[in-house]
Structure 1
C-alpha cells in the first residue's frame, strides 16, 4: 500500500509527499534495526549473566580446593622441616617416629589439581568469550588459564624423579612389619638407614622447598580466582 501511494505521489509530482513517504520508509527501517539490535543485546546480556553465575559457582569451589591444597603442602613442608632437623641431630624420639615416617613416605605425593572449569570451557567452546563485557574479568580468566596450563605441563608432573629417594633407596630405608592389631601389615621407616643414605639430607631439603613452592603456587592461583569472583560479583550486581 505504501509503495502504491509512493508511486501515485511520484506520478502526480507531489514531491513533498514523496519526501515524506521516503522518510517514513527510512524511519521504519531504522526503528526495525534498532529493535532487532535491542533484542540481540538483551539476549546477549541474559547469556552473559548465565555464564557469570556459572563461573561464580565454579570459582567458589575452586577457591576452597586450592585453600585445602595449599594448607596440605604447607603441612608437608613443615613435616619435612622436622625430618631435616632429626637427620641433622641424628636423633629421633620414639614419639616422633610416626611423624618422621609420614614425612618420608609422603614427600613424593603431589596430587593433581581437580578444579572445576566447566563454565569457562563452555564459554570458550561456544565462542562467547567476547560476551563478557568487563575487560578486567577477561584478563583474569586468561591469567587463570595460563596458570593452570603451566601447572599441568611444567615440572609439577615430573616431580617424582627429582623429589625423593630412588626405588632402591626406598627399599633400603622402609620395611613392612606385622600390623600391631595382628591384622595385615604396616610400613616402618628405618631412621638409621636414612642416616647412612648418601644425600638423604639434600633429598629432604629439596622436597621441603618443592612443597613450599607448590603451596605458594596454589595460593597465587587461589588469589586469581578470588579476584575474578569479586569482579563477577560486581558485574552481577549491576
Structure 2
C-alpha cells in the first residue's frame, strides 16, 4: 500500500508527500531493526544466564570432586610418611599398617585431575564468554580455561618423576579383593610388607619418596585450583547464580553397588546377538 501511494505521489509531483512516505519507510525499517536487535540481545542475555547457572553447578561439582581427591591424597601421603618412619625403626600398630598398605596400593598411580569444563568450553565455542562484562569473573574464567590443558600436561610430567623400580614382590605382597569391595577400592591391594627386606632395598625407599613427592605436588595443585574455583563461585553467587544439586553425588550410593550373581545377565538377556 505504501508503494502504491509512493508511486501516486510521484506522478502527482507531490514532493512533500513523497518525502513523508520515504520518512515513514525509513522510520519503519529503523524501528524494525531496533526491535530485532532487542530480541537478539534479550535472547543472548537469556542464554548467558542459563550458561552461568550451569557454570555455577559445574564449578561446585569440580570443587567437590577436587576436595574428595585432596582428602584421598592426604590419606596416601600419611601412609607413605608412616612407611618412611617405619623404615627408620618405628613399630606400626595394626591401624598404621592398614594406612601403609593403603598408601602403597595407591603409590605412584594417582587419579587424573578431576576437571569439569564442559560448560566453560561450550561458552568459549559459542562466544558466550564475550557477553560477560569485563571484570573479575571474566578474567578468572579466562585464567581457569587457560590452565585446563596445562594441568593435564603437569599431571603427565609429574608421573614421569617416578623413576624408581616398582615394589619388589619379595618385599610387597598383594591380594585380590572380593567382588563386594572391588567397586570401592582397587581390585588388587597390598596385604603385607616385609620391612626387614625393605630396609635393605634402596629402590623401595626411593619409590616411596618419589610417590610422596608426587602426591604432595598434585595435592597442592588441586588445592590451589579449589581456591580459584571458590572465588569464581563466590562471584557467581553475588550475581544470583546458585549451583543445583549434584546428581552424581546424590545417587553415588546407588551407583557404586557391586552386582550380585542374580544381577549379572548374559549378552542374550541384553539383546546382544
Tell me the TM-score normalized by structure 2: 0.71
How far apart, CA to CA, are the structure 2 residues paired with 1:74 and 1:197?
Answer: 26
Q: 1:131 to 1:233 in 2, by over 3 A?
A: farther
How far apart, CA to CA, are the structure 2 residues paired with 1:225 and 1:142?
Answer: 12
The residue that corresponds to 1:205 in the other structure is: 209
How far apart, CA to CA, are the structure 1 residues paired with 2:87 and 2:129?
Answer: 56
Deviation at 1:195, TM superposition (A): 0.6
The residue that corresponds to 2:171 in the other structure is: 173
Q: 1:227 to 1:132 in 2, by over 3 A?
A: farther
Which residues of 2 match residues 4-83 of structure 1 at below 5 A?
4-83=4-83
Q: 1:233 to 1:134 in 2, by over 3 A?
A: farther
**5+ residue gaps, structure 1:** 180-184
Is the contact made by 2:66 and 2:114 (CA closer than 8 Å) also made in structure 1? no
How far apart, CA to CA, are the structure 2 residues paired with 1:75 and 1:187?
Answer: 17
Q: Choose which of 219, 225, 228 in structure 2 pairs with 1:224.
A: 228
SS in 2 for 1:109: coil
Larger radius of gyration: 1
Is the contact made by 1:164 and 1:204 (CA closer than 8 Å) also made in structure 2? no
Is the contact made by 1:140 and 1:228 (CA closer than 8 Å) also made in structure 2? yes
SS in 2 for 1:171: coil
* Number of aligned positions between the proteins: 228
How far apart, CA to CA, are the structure 1 residues paired with 2:164 and 2:197?
Answer: 12
Report whether the alignment pairs 1:111 with 2:115: no
Is the contact made by 1:44 and 1:131 (CA closer than 8 Å) also made in structure 2? no
Deviation at 1:45, TM superposition (A): 1.2
Q: Choose which of 233, 237, 245 in structure 2 pairs with 1:233.
A: 237
Is the contact made by 1:48 and 1:131 (CA closer than 8 Å) also made in structure 2? no
Deviation at 1:217, TM superposition (A): 0.7
Deviation at 1:188, TM superposition (A): 0.4
SS in 2 for 1:163: coil
More helix by share: 1
Deviation at 1:118, TM superposition (A): 3.0
Is the contact made by 1:52 and 1:236 (CA closer than 8 Å) also made in structure 2? no
Is the contact made by 2:101 and 2:190 (CA closer than 8 Å) also made in structure 1? no
SS in 2 for 1:28: helix
SS in 1 for 2:7: helix
How far apart, CA to CA, are the structure 2 residues paired with 1:130 and 1:101?
Answer: 47
Tell me the TM-score normalized by structure 1: 0.80
How far apart, CA to CA, are the structure 1 residues paired with 2:60 and 2:160?
Answer: 34
Moved over 4 A (4+): 158-161
